[in-house]
Amino acid sequence: MMAQYFELTEQYDDALVLFQNGDFYQTYCEAAEEVARRLELTLTKREDSTGTYRMAGIPVDNAASYVEGLLDAGYRVAIAEQVEDAEAASGLVDRAVTRIVTPGTVVDDELLGAGTTNYVAAVAADEDGDSWGVAAVDVSTGESLVTGVDSRERAVEELERVAPSEVLTGPDAALDPDELDWEPMLTDHDPAVFASERARETVAAYVPNPDAVVAGDAELRATGAVLAYAEYTQGDDGPLAYVSRITRYDPREYLRLDATAVRSLELFETRGHSAGEPLVSVLEDTASALGRRLLHRWLRRPLVDEAAIEARLDAVEAWTRRGVDREAVRDLLSEVYDVERLVGRVSRGRANARDLRSLKETLDVVPGVKTAMGEVDAERLRNLRDALDELEDVRDLIGRAIQPDPPVEVTEGGVVRAGFDDELDDLRTTEREGREWVADLEARERERTGIDSLSVGHNQVHGYYIEVTKPNLDRVPDDYTRRQTLKNAERYYTPELKRREDEILGAAERADSLEYELFREVRDDVAAETDRLQSVADALAELDVLTTLAAVAVDHDYVRPTVGAADISIRGGRHPVVEQTRESFVPNDADFTDADVAVVTGPNMSGKSTYMRQVALICVLAQVGGFVPADAADLPVLDRVFTRVGASDDIAGGQSTFMREMAELTDILHNATEDSLILLDEVGRGTSTTDGLAIAWATTEFVDDEVGATTLFATHYHELTAIADEREAVRNLHFTASREDGDVTFLHRVAEGASSSSYGVEVAALAGVPEAVVERSRTLIEEGVPVQREDGRTTLDDFRGVAGGGGATVPDSPPGATNGRAGGGDDETAVNDASDRLTARGDADPPDETLREVAAELREVDVADTTPLEALNLLNDLRTRLDDRDS
């Protein structure tokens, strides 16, 4: 046995082999130590003629949670099952790896969340590296995707969007975990599966003509590889029948949301410590797991095709108008099981009788759903209604064949209904009659022998017996044969009882195996309808999402957006998530018909970030095909949404906060187009004020001149608001707060113009910063702010110097003002003569000559053609010049 184990561990050397031995999956030696440590199991020992081995086992019946623990710890798990009946086997029971469980290829419901997707992906590139294929499969449902892009960067970005939990890295497309924004398992599988010819063969087993589905060699190789790997993990020699559709998509068919945008808009999860909810939780009230999965897909890939968006909106609108039908459909859909996964199991031959019943119960709702849809008028819904095949044949088959509440085990009978198969019925009749005969035996024998205490019983070892207590032994008839002696009684059988017993057992045994056979036939018949079942699953899923979007629209007062406008124009827009968490939410307009760039200022906590995100979320929701939280919304079709939000460190990835910020900015300035929406929530905060403001200023100019994207730029650099005076397409928006008796009230209302104060100290007080610090800050503000000296240090002397100088308050600088730190020239002077500095601040002077030069130079930069190193050098140069100017 150990030889068999070692052979398997060698064969599956990149996996942890779980070796079935009866009721346990065992691991031995080093693996046992690992497993015992990871799963907190007791380490035991096995001794046989070949030696002593450390051993740790997992109960077969309850393996899922342990396997999950192993996956979490980064293992692939190879399940080696006994493939021979232990009793039937002569000598050693044969074992084989029946499947390999890896993060990307898990199929067990226990290990996958309900209604989630779980992809394994593969990446391949052609020789020049200018054509890349990315393919992904959800092995639990059979969903299969492929796309092609033209650079490694785009391939990574596509991967990021698919967010597979495992990636096969091809021989020509090794990935570095550091360049990825999430943490998939990187699997180095047999490179042969990536070879063109092999890949073509693999794919051809799924679609008749691979070239009609995938474009080009890189896509073919990625697709072939990922499918071959999926087959390998499922222990199949052939294709996975339920992977019946390979969907090729072009990333340009969707609104591009890269991982940064998905994260900062909090579509699927909130960032870091944020206590709120992601967008999806507001929408996620889908009736079924199918709907939930599709909703996530739609949200990850909003549309850009106007007609397709309108078609969804039409359908959603139709449902908003018919509340009763909508709720009827949603009620019915809540009875629906996860057909996608069920079909996967049926097709893999792993479905049990309950799964088949679940499938039937799902199909049972279809006629009702179609009826409820009858009056709801939208083209998309008519199409869906037509696509809803009632699959009466399958329903009928399962209904006739499978018991309503069958056991989980399919080999032990109780699965197939009476009346389905004559032979089975005969066997059952024989069995039943035999049992009835036995049941009556007690009464008959009591009468025949006159022994009132005589009883008939059954046990596992001896089978049926007639029990007579010791005092009555003299009355035992001649045809009784002794079977077993107890303390107070003897047990007997008669030739007839023995014959009947054999008959019952024989019939039961044959019935069980016949049932299993029949069950498998039914399962195979159902599996043959995979395509039709998947179409029904798709239609139900879409119906679920459309009715859910309608229900959300009605519940939360959303409106239908107009898509295809030239510019964003939102009246009374709300943040879909924040409005759910606040007692009252202040709606705000966003109108970009006259200006492309809005510089948003306002105190801390006043609502800038919320406002910017709500604009983006409204656009995203509209392109998903949903109604939006606003009074009215005219929206363009965006090609991409970019975000640069807050400071996120990536020290592990080798980037400082500021470097990271600049890398994000680079990406935006390179890739945004006229049709993009850009949210810049603070830029340049991670460096000195001077550099930061210069970059912010130059960025705004660049966006206006070169990019033309709709841009919202939130900033605490009040100086930046001056740029609106210079430029037609830039306007200022601001939030206000009112201060009474030292308490700040935030109005959360956006208005034209620039804001004048930050209330940073008030917010600090609200947050619980120690009173002493708050008070000291207030004093400093009243008496003068710290000023950076030439050498870059700020000392207490400076404070005193400033404090001694003058009494003006700093935050209330008028729009367009520039303070001493940012543009006012000689800081040293400011330190020594605060009143000068404060006067200079009062002049509504735009940034000085040097700043202008710097800005002009920045504007000259061909960002698309600048390497990071050149950018750093330039930055350094600009910085030096600013420093020179200041000294």
Ligand X SMILES: Nc1ncnc2c1ncn2[C@@H]1O[C@H](COP(=O)(O)OP(=O)(O)OP(=O)(O)O)[C@@H](O)[C@H]1O
What is the binding site for Mg ion (CB under 5 A)? 609
The CA–CA distances, whole Å, from 253 to 217, 282, 303, 543 equal 21, 26, 7, 22
**How far apart are CB 386 and Mg ion at their closest, in Å?**
48
Q: For residues 600 and 787, which CB has a smaller minimum distance to ligand X in the complex?
A: 600
606 near ligand X, rule: CB under 6 A:
yes
**How far apart are CB 718 and ligand X at their closest, in Å?**
12
**How far apart are CB 350 and ligand X at their closest, in Å?**
47
684 near ligand X, rule: CB under 6 A:
no
721 near ligand X, rule: CB under 6 A:
no
713 near ligand X, rule: CB under 6 A:
no
Q: Are 220 and 195 in contact (CB under 8 A)?
A: no
Backbone torsions φ then ψ of 272, nearest 5 degrees: 40, -120
Q: For residues 244 and 756, which CB has a smaller minimum distance to ligand X in the complex?
A: 756
Tokens read off for 644: 């640069």
586 near ligand X, rule: CB under 6 A:
yes
Residue 227, classed as helix, strand or coil, is helix
578 near ligand X, rule: CB under 6 A:
yes
520 near ligand X, rule: CB under 6 A:
no
Residue 82, classed as helix, strand or coil, is strand
Q: For residues 134 and 680, which CB has a smaller minimum distance to Mg ion in the complex?
A: 680
Closest alpha carbon to 408 in 353, 487, 356: 353
Q: For residues 330 and 734, which CB has a smaller minimum distance to ligand X in the complex?
A: 734
How many residues interact with ligand X (rule CB under 6 A)? Answer: 14
Which of 602, 784, 816, 847 touches ligand X (CB under 6 A)?
Answer: 602
In the complex, residue closest to Mg ion by CB? 609
Classify residue 627 by its DSSP letter.
Answer: -
d(CA 460, CA 457): 11
Q: Are strands 489-493 and 463-469 parallel, antiparallel or unpaired?
A: antiparallel
d(CA 880, CA 290): 58
CB-hemisphere CA count at 13 Å for 834?
A: 23
Residues 6+ away with beta carbon under 8 Å from 857: 874, 878
| Residue 206: contacted member of Mg ion, ligand X, none (CB under 5 to 8 Å, by partner type) | none
d(CA 882, CA 887): 9
| Residue 607: contacted member of Mg ion, ligand X, none (CB under 5 to 8 Å, by partner type) | ligand X
Residue 284, classed as helix, strand or coil, is coil
605 near ligand X, rule: CB under 6 A:
yes
Q: For residues 28 and 759, which CB has a smaller minimum distance to Mg ion in the complex?
A: 759
| Residue 585: contacted member of ligand X, Mg ion, none (CB under 5 to 8 Å, by partner type) | ligand X
d(CA 218, CA 123): 8
660 near ligand X, rule: CB under 6 A:
no
Q: For residues 104 and 602, which CB has a smaller minimum distance to ligand X in the complex?
A: 602
d(CA 756, CA 743): 17
Q: For residues 610 and 818, which CB has a smaller minimum distance to ligand X in the complex?
A: 610
Q: For residues 395 and 608, which CB has a smaller minimum distance to Mg ion in the complex?
A: 608
Which of 263, 608, 660, 841 touches ligand X (CB under 6 A)?
Answer: 608
d(CA 395, CA 388): 14
734 near ligand X, rule: CB under 6 A:
no
Q: For residues 217 and 664, which CB has a smaller minimum distance to Mg ion in the complex?
A: 664
Which of 254, 585, 592, 713 touches ligand X (CB under 6 A)?
Answer: 585
Stretch in the footprint of ligand X (CB under 6 A) among 131-139, 262-270, 591-599, 601-609:
601-609
Stretch in the footprint of ligand X (CB under 6 A) among 136-144, 189-197, 224-232, 582-590:
582-590
Which of 256, 500, 748, 821 touches ligand X (CB under 6 A)?
Answer: 748
Type of residue at 169: T
Tokens read off for 257: 């949301």
**How far apart are CB 700 and ligand X at their closest, in Å?**
18
Give the number of other CB atoms < 10 A from CB of residue 473: 11
Q: DSSP states of 772-793 as a string?
A: HHHHHHHHHHHH------TTS-
Classify residue 466 by its DSSP letter.
Answer: E
| Residue 57: contacted member of Mg ion, ligand X, none (CB under 5 to 8 Å, by partner type) | none
**How far apart are CB 634 and ligand X at their closest, in Å?**
20
Q: For residues 344 and 607, which CB has a smaller minimum distance to ligand X in the complex?
A: 607
**How far apart are CB 838 and ligand X at their closest, in Å?**
24
Alpha-helix runs per DSSP H in 322-378: 323-333, 339-348, 353-373
Element (H, E) at 282: helix 279-283
610 near ligand X, rule: CB under 6 A:
yes
Tokens read off for 594: 């006259």
Interface residue list for ligand X (CB under 6 A): 578, 582, 585-586, 588, 602, 604-610, 748
